[in-house]
A and B are shown apart, each in its own frame.
Chain A
């Protein structure tokens, strides 16, 4: 927390700044990312009209960048909800300016990740056949299929994350309603659900947020576990692994924190929120990132060592292709990006600055994308009978779609910062109140906030 205690008016004007006057950079970002998204949409239209043959996938590599992006973005989505929920549940005071950036990442990353299971289908127009509804085919979805589990897990997580993002947004929406006119007033008024800031409303909100924070943690863990089971439930070498669940969840939180640090650094810089997002936040998240880096390394080491020691020929074919074969640049790239560089960088206090954590985070995001690719493609390229071994290289359509996911994320996130305060104003003020009276519980200090809304 800052030593200086800013006034309510200053907090309001600082944190509502991006909403009120977005600035030239915002328009430039939206334009550029929007154009990339349009280009990716063009590539997608081309794919829909010609067929999946315009991708580089083949037999035996039936999944490649599509599922890489799917797993990667679902992983990024763990930034938010999970981290914010854990920090809330454990009552970490420094979380306050961080939670909303994180929760927004979750919702948008999830929306992007969830696109891939649909657009990668041979007949994407029929994706709704995975929905259990009474139909003329007289057929339920196959509940034994991990893809059906995926469908439910992702939808539950998406719904939960949207609620979890929305609930703490309500008081800020009311603040925006009170400060805006015309159509905007109606827009925020409808969204703020008649929030007046009465004690009863505060009590209910606090309780709802507390419940959601607890509920969302097992949901988040289950989502990436189920994503990992898409692989672990098969009998493919180096997919069929009992530790894939925790391995994927750890990797997801890892890449999620990295994405959060990058997003926070960008927000801090472009919206001049240096007073709110302080080195302490980057330091603390950097320590979390370090922890996850060590856990990731532990899992990876355990996974590869047991495979190598077991020395089963089918497994070793995949292992060799990763560690010393055609995919070794990706493997060693992953090790360097996820562990060899970030771990020392984050462990040494002198480097755990904003710049240091951002560099580490960028490496981690790249490394984790490689890692997802590395999990999917080498196993598929090395079927048990050597006669069917294959290779994979992406086409421009897949590369365009991948670039499009990043642009789409930037676009959605930019629009979000334009519409809603990216730092929770009331939570920040509540934090100041808690700092003034450390002995009081958080629910009883919420009443002074009512004056501000």
Chain B
């Protein structure tokens, strides 16, 4: 790590290699377990009330039988210019100095304005009190707060794991490096399509990959400056 990067706070970013994604949705399951995401049941899910901090969007090209399916895992893009942040009247969502788009559940009054201004539709509302089907209710992650009814929630880049990684690095009296922080989705990805790290460190894997000529960002033209970088060779 260079001297300059050491002085700055780490800037978290994710890289998703679409050419490696098989659409298995293991990341979705891992995220649910890690982040205490409530289950709403099939009926509510059909009404659009399901909560998935990460989802795999499927896009089909061509007509049957000559069909090509494209998978695209989408999670909170942790935009540097996040449209959700200025519209919240109570500062429930704001930018941390590590470049995370934080959601403070206790501040949220539930206007849902942030969700309406999110071009990626990655913000979720608790329409009812959270429920977990047994035995999942006995398997909550003690490091992640459970959200109440009426507040927004979304991907945190597994902030509990970020803190743990930072503490470990501090204990060992060194800077955070690749491998210290691995969010649940990245850890579980079978095909190693996902990478996570400090993009302010030019030697990190995400830094290197973000300069790839396959690198692109979602809806870049909106000027949101997402912190999630997609790799896609194109056609």
Instruction: List residues of chain A with CB under 8 Å of any chain B CB.
Output: 50-53, 56-63, 117, 120-123, 126-127, 129-130, 137, 139, 141-142, 144-148, 151, 230, 233-236, 380, 383-388, 390
Q: Whose C-beta in chain B lies nearest to the C-beta of A143? A: B89
> Across the interface, do B125 and A234 meet the contact criterion of CB distance under 8 Å?
no
Interface string of B189-225 (1 = CB under 8 A from A): 0000000000000000000000000000001001000
Task: Pick the interface stretch among B5-13, B126-134, B167-175, B179-187.
Answer: B126-134
> Across the interface, do B111 and A147 meet the contact criterion of CB distance under 8 Å?
yes
Given B116, B120, B129, which contacts A385 in the complex, CB threshold below 8 Å?
B120
* A–B complex contacts, Cβ < 8 Å, 8 sampled: A51-B127, A121-B109, A141-B89, A147-B87, A383-B119, A385-B57, A386-B59, A390-B48
Could you tell me the distance in whole angstroms from the C-beta of B33 to the nearest C-beta in chain A?
21
Interface string of B109-125 (1 = CB under 8 A from A): 11111011101110011
Interface string of B81-98 (1 = CB under 8 A from A): 001001111110000000
For the complex, give the distance between the alpha carbons of A386 and B121 in Å: 11
> Across the interface, do A61 and B150 meet the contact criterion of CB distance under 8 Å?
no
Name the residue in B87, B107, B111, B152 with the highest tally of chain A Cβ atoms < 10 Å from its Cβ: B111
> Across the interface, do B150 and A51 meet the contact criterion of CB distance under 8 Å?
yes
Could you tell me the distance in whole angstroms from the C-beta of A386 to the nearest C-beta in chain B?
8
Chain A residues whose CB sits within 8 angstroms of the CB of B112 once the complex forms = 57, 62-63, 122
For the complex, give the distance between the alpha carbons of A388 and B48 in Å: 9
Chain A residues whose CB sits within 8 angstroms of the CB of B80 once the complex forms = none
For the complex, give the distance between the alpha carbons of A56 and B48 in Å: 10
> Across the interface, do A50 and B128 meet the contact criterion of CB distance under 8 Å?
yes
> Across the interface, do A52 and B58 meet the contact criterion of CB distance under 8 Å?
no
For the complex, give the distance between the alpha carbons of A141 and B83 in Å: 17
For the complex with contacts A61-B48, A145-B87, 18 further pairs of A-B residues with Cβ separation under 8 Å are: A51-B126, A53-B128, A59-B50, A59-B115, A62-B116, A121-B109, A121-B110, A122-B109, A129-B109, A144-B86, A147-B89, A148-B89, A233-B87, A234-B116, A234-B117, A236-B117, A387-B59, A388-B121
Chain A residues whose CB sits within 8 angstroms of the CB of B115 once the complex forms = 59-60, 62
> Across the interface, do A121 and B111 meet the contact criterion of CB distance under 8 Å?
yes
For the complex, give the distance between the alpha carbons of A236 and B152 in Å: 19
Chain B residues whose CB sits within 8 angstroms of the CB of A129 once the complex forms = 90, 107, 109
> Across the interface, do A235 and B119 meet the contact criterion of CB distance under 8 Å?
yes
Given A141, A144, A235, A385, which contacts B121 in the complex, CB threshold below 8 Å?
A385
Could you tell me the distance in whole angstroms from the C-beta of B48 to the nearest C-beta in chain A?
3
For the complex, give the distance between the alpha carbons of A52 and B119 in Å: 23
Q: Whose C-beta in chain A lies nearest to the C-beta of B223? A: A235
Chain B residues whose CB sits within 8 angstroms of the CB of A230 once the complex forms = 113
Could you tell me the distance in whole angstroms from the C-beta of A251 to the nearest C-beta in chain B?
20
> Across the interface, do A52 and B150 meet the contact criterion of CB distance under 8 Å?
yes
B149 within 8 A of A: yes
State whether A52 and B90 are in contact (beta carbons under 8 Å apart), knowing that A123-B150, A235-B222 are contacts in the complex. Answer: no
Chain A residues whose CB sits within 8 angstroms of the CB of B50 once the complex forms = 59
> Across the interface, do A384 and B89 meet the contact criterion of CB distance under 8 Å?
no
